[in-house]
Structure 1
Amino acid sequence: MKAVVVCPGRGTYGKGELGSLTRLHGGAPLLAVYEAIRAEAGQPALAALDGAAAFGPGHLDGGNAAALIHAMTVLDARALRGVEVLAVTGNSMGWYGALAVAGALSEADGFRLANGMGGLMARQGAGGQVVYPVMGEDWRPDPAARAGVLAAAEAAGLRLSIDLGGMLVLAGEEAGLARFEAGVPKAGQFPLRLPGHAAFHTPLVAPVAAAGRAAFGALGWRQPAVPMVDGRGAIWWPGASDAGRLADYTLGHQVVAPYDFARAIAVAAREFAPDAFIVTGPGTTLGGAVAQGLILAGWRGMGDKAAFQARQAAAPLLLSMGREDQRGLVT
């Protein structure tokens, strides 16, 4: 199988994922490396967080959440069997996972980056995020709905943070978030505030970018071993990428500018034509965004949810490692 690997970001490790890191990867030598990095920084052990009796505020802390998600991402990618990885991409914080999976950072340095940037966001990040859909239940592209949501966000003083294709993550200060929530129609659980999240991918977190450059600019940045598609849809090619520019993007633009995950998926599909997209764990929540990104790209003629489901039933083109039935197909 030839595949694009997709690394998830914040919000994918929830109460349903408690215990999954230890169950799937307990005893892995790399997990011991991660634990040593956490211990050196005086942080709670991943095993203790993963083995907690209940999901709580500690799991939502930026540093803890980032570490749990990154560890699962990289260990899942290492568990792939019978898969030729054509390229790697990620959503938001998943970009740090992509760097480690693709070899642009060592696995230890990739963890230091994700763990450290998560902690910096928790301590220095300002503002918050809210999610709102721009597609109906049929997943048909709706440019008018998208334009309307963006206009409402601008009127409330919010900025686009992450473009997930069928949903937009909007970010700003508390007053703007409240204005937006009061001004848009309720759509099921939306507008949905993301607890514990700062205004990622906006200028409000510029201090975090500056602190990140100071702390992680000297990591062992290098060219990737496989292509990476970033949050602009740009491709970092093996043998043709500048490691310094990669560090600058990761600790600069990637932090303070919108992250276009839908475009990253479209570029990955069109440029690499994989048999499937494999989303690493934890969780399964990113699968819908990948599918919606493929629909927006018109990949393989898919124009709505029904068309995607028909293709998926005939020959799975989206595999989530957080699902046991799909995990077995790639491990």
Structure 2
Amino acid sequence: MAKETVLVVCPGRGTYNAPELGYLARHHAGSEWLARFDAMREQAGKETLSALDGAVKFTPAHLRGDNAAPLIHACAYLDFLGLDRERFEIVAVTGNSMGWYTALACAGAVAGEHGFAIADGMGVNSQKHEPGGQAVLVLVDEDWKVDPALRRAVEAAMARHGVMPSIRLGGMLVVAGGEAALDALEKDLPALARPPMRLAGHGPFHTPLMQASSDAARAQFPEEWFGQPQVPLIDGRGKVWRRFESARHDLWDYTFGHQILAPYDFTAAMTVGIREFAPDRVVLLGPGETLGGAIGQMLVALDWLDISSRAVFAARQGEDPFLIGMGRPSQRGIVIP
């Protein structure tokens, strides 16, 4: 029987919340890799992932970058290792924002230990930045369609207040800037389907305000950790890094330069992944499933597999899901042996 082809997506910050507490214990108890990650944290004088994941209750400490980033990376990477390779062929890997570091490890561009060290270290480095934060703007209507005039009006308001694009996320736009600029933007926006949502504990990621984080990363993580991906790796511009075509220095330079300082276009990454590799399914690694809606919105925008609306997407997901979210118990079993 021919294997089904899958595009693997690695999630970023904001995907380990109260419902995900205990994710590692539920799905990866006894994992050799989890033990390695715990040992690396313990050696560095940090709380282990098992302790954080096994806390009695979810606290604001779980949302701090130095805890959230390694927790999310470990959940996603261990999910990736658990995929049924007898049934599924991974044709490409991508990620959203911080998920790029996980994608590097999943694609084999860095070793598993180095991938965790990068995610863990960047959880700390991401807190080194100029003052500012992020907000999510929902541009889609109830049917997951975007009015081009609304998008233009939002971009004009951003320009008036010096607010920058941070992540392009299907029918949503994550914006970043100083707190005063974000406050002014929110008062000047056209009517949106939902009020802007400020992301607690997030800095002005993917903007030049993150220069200190970029500088720290370049000093901390050696170029020698990087190699050629074993499967195609799609970055936050939609560029595909392929085996035998990827230079170590270029991949290192992108990871700690452009990827930190410029907008992350997850929409472009997914569009390239779907159009160029035409996978039988998309697998969204855990924890959580907050990226599912954004991916669905992209499928609607592409009219992929005749998925032309939110209702059509929901119907397709109910019958034979094209998008498999490993953070969703009803779908996880599809891809785990």
Give the number of aligned pairs: 331
Q: Distance in 2 between matches of 1:23 and 1:125?
A: 38
Matches within 5 A, 1:111-150: 111-124=116-129, 126-150=131-155
Shift of 1:181: 2.0
Counterpart residue number, 1:315: 320
> In structure 2, which of residues 238, 246, 258 is the aligned counterpart of residue 241 of structure 1?
246
Question: For each residue in 1:27-78, what CA deviation from the matched residue of structure 2 results, as whole angstroms up to 9, or x when unmatched?
Answer: 1000011111111221111111111122112111111000000000100000
1:73 equivalent in structure 2: 76
How far apart in 2 are the matches of 1:295 and 1:14?
27
Q: How far has the Cα of 1:156 moved from its partner? A: 2.0
Contact 1:209 1:251 in 2 (8 A): yes
Q: Does 1:282 align with 2:287?
A: yes
- Out of 183-192 and 91-100, give the one that drifted further: 183-192
Q: Offset at 1:123?
A: 4.0
Q: Does 1:208 align with 2:213?
A: yes
- Candidates 89, 94, 108, aligned match of 2:94: 89
In 2, Cα distance between the equivalents of 1:2 and 1:116? Answer: 33
Partner of 1:10: 13
Q: Deviations over 1:90-145 (max 9, x none)?
A: 00000001000010000100000011011111244641000011111100132222
Query: Is the 8 Å Cα contact of residues 170 and 298 (structure 2) preserved in structure 1?
Result: yes
AA of the residue aligned to 2:228: Q
> What is the aligned-residue identity percentage?
50
Q: 1:240 offset after TM fit, Å?
A: 1.3
Q: Where does the alignment leave 5 or more consecutive residues of structure 1 unmatched?
A: none
Partner SS for 2:127: helix
TM-score by length of 1: 0.96
Q: Equivalent residue for 1:174?
A: 179
The worse-fitting range, judged by mean Cα deviation, of 61-70 and 184-193 is 184-193
One-letter code of the match for 2:284?
A: V
1:142-185 CA deviation, whole Å, 9 max, x = no partner?
A: 22222122222222211000000110000001111111122235
Report the CA distance between 1:314 and its aligned residue: 3.7
Between 159-168 and 288-297, the greater mean CA deviation after superposition: 288-297
Q: Which residue of 2 aligns with 1:56?
A: 59
Q: TM-score, normalised by structure 2?
A: 0.95
Q: CA deviation at 1:83?
A: 1.6
Tell me, in whole angstroms, the C-alpha distance in 2 between the residues paired with 1:236 and 1:122: 28
- Mark the runs of 5 or more structure 2 residues left unpaired by the alignment: none
Determine helix, strand or coil for the equivalent of 1:122: coil
Moved more, 12-21 or 151-160: 151-160
Residues 206 and 138 (structure 1 numbering): CA distance in 2 closer, same or farther, change over 3 Å?
same
Q: Which residue of 2 aligns with 1:198?
A: 203
Q: Tell me how large the CA RMSD over aligned residues is.
A: 1.4
